[in-house]
């Protein structure tokens, strides 16, 4: 029989900062959703905006903590996994696609499905590009 490998121990501080960041991110998302609620049968622009903003912020953050700063070991879990992971909501996005389909808004559902993916990926690239430009770390080709 082969040697069994054990999962690495999880640092309690990492779990704590992810939890606190996730709580803050989820509260921000909830607040924006209450302030700008989706209309039944229509594209949920608040969720779209949240996901695109969060992806742009993730692009910025990744440049800052990998190319610019020597980041504290808890910064990435707090901001990247916790705060921005709690703020963005791709589970709600998938539920809203289902609701749009069930309401008969097939074109809106498919547009929202594809548009969110494209906009989110472009937002990551834009965030990274702006961060590299602003910090002078733009890669030369």
Cα–Cα distance for residue pair 46/78, rounded to 1 Å: 24
- Give the pLDDT of residue 34: 94
- Give the pLDDT of residue 58: 97
Q: What is the mean pLDDT of each run of 10 residues along the chain (141 residues)?
A: 73 95 96 91 93 97 92 93 94 94 95 97 98 85 43
Cα–Cα distance for residue pair 104/25, rounded to 1 Å: 32
- Give the pLDDT of residue 141: 43
- Give the pLDDT of residue 30: 94
pTM comes to 0.86
Q: Are 81 and 13 in contact (CB under 8 A)?
A: no
């Amino acid at each position: 029989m082969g040697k069994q490998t054990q999962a690495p121990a999880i640092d309690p501080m990492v779990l704590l900062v992810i939890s606190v960041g996730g709580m803050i991110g989820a509260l921000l998302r909830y607040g924006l959703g209450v302030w700008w609620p989706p209309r039944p049968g229509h594209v949920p622009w608040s969720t779209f905006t949240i996901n695109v903003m969060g992806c742009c912020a993730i692009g910025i953050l990744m440049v800052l903590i990998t190319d610019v700063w020597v980041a504290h070991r808890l910064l990435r879990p707090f901001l990247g996994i916790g705060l921005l992971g709690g703020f963005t909501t791709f589970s709600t996005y998938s539920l809203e696609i289902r609701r749009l389909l069930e309401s008969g808004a097939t074109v809106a559902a498919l547009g929202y499905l594809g548009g969110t993916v494209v906009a989110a990926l472009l937002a990551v690239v834009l965030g990274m590009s702006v961060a590299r430009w602003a910090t002078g770390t733009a890669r030369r080709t």
